[in-house]
Structure 1
Amino acid sequence: MASNDEKVADAHKTLYEQGLQLRREVTGTGHVQRSLQNGSSDFARPMQELATEMGWGSIWTRPGLERKTRSLLNIAMLCALNRMTELAVHVRGAVNNGVTELEIRETLMQVAAYCGLPAGLEGVRVAQKVLESIREESQSQ
């Protein structure tokens, strides 16, 4: 019979592995690899593990909301919180999840109405750069 510590470790491992798979599907293998490499120090590694386990393994894998909806929520929250680096990651992820440019723009318009024009304007600037980059990448393939 497994000890309580082993059960907890197994639960963390399961959530991490599920989160890692989903994180790769949404944000791309390259992004995840870079994030894990950048967070590979003894100091930073636990934060990457927590983000993968909690954010992706515990939240993104829950039933009840489609990935597309979760992406739009993240865009709104990250923009409202002025977390533009993460916003860029999640704009790309939203496109991977089937979100249209129109839906991204309308989400940012709502951010501007509820969180202020500076938040909405900055979000549009970030999203536009990401969307242009995605278009350029698709044209070069």
Structure 2
Amino acid sequence: MQSGDVVSAKAAFEALTEKVPNYSGPWTNLGIISAEQRDYVKAEAYFNEALRCQSNNTIAMNWLGYLRAVRKDYSSAEKWYLRAIAIDPRYAEAHLNIAMLYEANMRRPKDALEHYRIYQSHTNGESTLVAAWIRNLEESSNYVASNAELSK
């Protein structure tokens, strides 16, 4: 899968699901492959199967959040991301995804800022792009706060 040979990877994961149907990993990887190929219906079925095998599979939850966001079901997407975060508060990708959801789709910049900051803290601030998003949100919130003070 990492080498880019999706066809072989998919065949290997399908074979694994037949040999060890109660292992969550192969189902999760099939879901990721299907989501990346934009076969969202199949991806959701695979992720649900992964959760049947392991109810605390945060990777499957994170991807289910993504699939809900693609469908513009933002409330459900938020629930999946928060569920993953509740199980693993250090799961950086779920923090990043919920931050983007809050900022771009739910108009919740303060919540987005919080999760962007958490993401950066869990990734040692490696993303210059996320750092720019944080700075942008901080500047816009400072602008809003200073204008609110002026209008009093």
Tell me the TM-score range normalised by the shorter chain. Answer: 0.3 to 0.5
1 or 2 for the larger relative contact order (CA 8 Å, sep ≥6)? 1
TM-score (normalised: structure 1): 0.33
Higher Cα radius of gyration: 2
